[in-house]
Amino acid sequence: MRKNIVAGNWKMNKNVIDAQQLMAQLLDYKKANATNCEVWIAPPSLYLMMARDIFENNEVGVFSQDMSEYESGAYTGEISADMLQSIEADGSIIGHSERRQYHGETDSHCNRKVKLALDKGLTPIYCNGETLEQRKAGQHLEVVKNQTETALFTLTAEEIKKVVIAYEPVWAIGTGETASPEQAQEIHAHIRSLIAAKYGQEVADEISILYGGSVKPDNAKEIFSQPDIDGGLIGGAALKLEDFSKIIEGFNQ
C-alpha cells in the first residue's frame, strides 16, 4: 500500500554513543508528535540490533544500508537477509548510488538482492538515478527506465507492490547542481508510468517512490507536495534530530 515515508540513511557516521543518543532523541520525538508519514532509519550495520531494541514497539522502521545477494557462505564482511530477518529488521536499502560507484554494484546485483529480500519478508528500498554526464546528455529518462526494468521487472505484481523505490539524482548530489521539485516530479512520474505500463495503474499507484536528492527542512514541504513524490531518502540531514524532524513535518504542513 502506498505510504508517505521519510527514511534516514546515516551512511558511515556516528560512534556508538552518538548513535544511541540520536536514536533515543528520535524515539522521544516520535512519542511526543503525531506524524503524517512513516519514519525509518538505516544506521550502520553495527547498530542495527541496538536500533531494534530502542524502537521495540516499531515506532521507527529499522533498515540496513545494504545486504548480500547470497543467502550465506564465505562472503567476508557481508550481511545476509537471514541475519536481518533474525534481528527483526524491517528491510534494506539496495542499489544506493554510493554502492554502485564505490563497489561496482549493477542492476543485476540489485535484482537478486530485491528478490532475496522479498523472499525473506524484508522491504527493499531500491535506489536508481542518473549521473551528471547522463543528465547533460539527455539520457536520464532512458537510464532510469533501464535501471527500473532490469532490477524490478522480473517480479510479480504482488511482489513489486512491496518494493519502495528511491530516485536519487546523482548529478544533484555534491556537484553544485540543484534538482528542482519539478525535475524530481518528472522522474517520479516517469517511474510510476513504467510500472503502470508493465503491471497496470492500480499496482503503480500502490508503490511509494521517495526522493533521494538533498531534501532539507526548507524544501521538504514543496518536494513532498508533488503528486508522485511520497517522501524522501535523507542523507546528511538525518544525522541531526532538529533537521530530520523538520523534514518529517514537511508532511504535516
Q: Could you say which of 38, 105, 130, 168 is catalytic?
A: 168
174 a known binding residue?
yes
Residue with cell 497496470: 200
Q: Which listed residue (96, 109, 140, 188) is catalytic?
A: 96
User: How many domains, the chain?
Assistant: 1
| Residues 17-36: tens digit of each pLDDT | 999 999 999 999 999 999 99
Region 227-243 average pLDDT: 96
- Domain hosting 157: range is 5-251
Q: Each residue of 90-125: b (16+ CB within 10 Å) or e? A: bbbbbbbbbbbeeeebebebbbbbbbbbbebebbbb
The answer to whether 95 is a known ligand-binding residue is no
Tens-place pLDDT, residues 178-210: 688 999 999 999 999 999 999 999 999 999 999
pLDDT at position 178, please? 66
Q: What is the pLDDT of residue 167?
A: 96
Query: Is 190 one of the annotated active-site residues of the chain?
Result: no
Give whole-number Cα distances, 120 to 39, 83, 116, 158, 226, in Å: 22, 10, 6, 15, 33
What is the DSSP track for 164-176?
Answer: EEEE--GGGSSSS
Known binding residue 40? Answer is: no
132: pLDDT confidence band, cut at 50, 70 and 90? confident
The enclosing domain of 65 has a CATH number of 3.20.20.70
The reply to whether 180 sits in an annotated binding site is no
Annotation marks residue 130 as catalytic? no
Is residue 11 annotated as involved in ligand binding? yes
